[in-house]
Amino acid sequence: MSSSAAVFSVTTSSAVQPRTTRQHLITSRLSLPSPSSSQFIRQQRPIPRSINHGRNRNNSNTTTTFKPRRSTVLMEWQDCTVKMEIDVPISVAYNCYLDREAIPRWMPFISTVKVLEDKPELSRWSLKYKAFGRDLEFSWLARNMQPIPNQKIHWRSLEGLPNRGAVRFFPKGSSSCLVELTVSYEVPQLLSPVASALQPFLQNLLGRGLARFANFAKTYQTDAA
């Protein structure tokens, strides 16, 4: 029996039987710890809190520990739009951009694009570029949505780096057109500390890519002819 149970027993006994023998009182006093004893001090220490959901009330080792939940972080999306007039007919610019596996030849940060043979609307993309003091590498699977010939090509990622975008074509005469490229993407957690600098950086990178596309489209026109 623990010392706390002994105290409870003596206190109850004294209340019910006020007239006790001298021998019993001496025995009771001997069983009580003095207020200055270490045993008494140990009894006054707070008992660590634990939660027992009633599965086994007699087993003091059955406790439940609560762990803090992970906070859900809402990632930031950014949009970039660039446009440029290109000196090729709108049909040539459209067909040139529709050739996804040729995009790494003119877009600086795209490493490879592979169209799936059994599902040509799907393609696997990889990005490799050195920026912000890091060697960046990302990949994703994209689906090309139903295009509008000579007007619009658009896509969205299905897995990997979240992104979506569209290319629109506007006629500027019989031998030139305006190409407008819009890309939306979720800022990778790795780059969240530099998110404010990422958008203007990518805007500049897309502009350089579109300028290279303008020259590539002229070559593409010659090859097609």
Cα angle, residue 24 at apex, residues 5 and 43 outer, rounded to 5°: 25
pLDDT at 74: 62
What's the whole-model pTM score? 0.65
Cα angle, residue 143 at apex, residues 142 and 146 outer, rounded to 5°: 150
Q: Which long-range contacts (CB under 8 A, 24 or more apart) does 182-185 make?
A: 182/79, 182/80, 182/81, 183/79, 183/80, 183/81, 184/77, 184/78, 184/79, 184/80, 185/77, 185/78, 185/161
92 vs 223: CA distance, rounded Å: 11
pLDDT at 112: 97
Task: Label residue 74 exposed, middle or buried (CB < 10 Å: 0-12, 13-18, 19+).
Answer: exposed
Q: Which fold has domain 78-224?
A: Alpha-D-Glucose-1,6-Bisphosphate; Chain A, domain 4 (3.30.530)
pLDDT at 15: 42
Tokens of 47: 């008992």
pLDDT at 221: 63
pLDDT at 220: 85
Domain boundaries, the chain: 3-44, 78-224
Q: For the chain of 225 residues, list the mean pLDDT of each consecutive stretch of 10.
A: 39 42 45 48 49 49 47 75 96 96 96 97 96 93 97 98 98 95 95 93 96 94 57
pLDDT at 73: 53
- Report the candidate in 141, 165, 142 with the shortest Cα–Cα distance to residue 152: 165
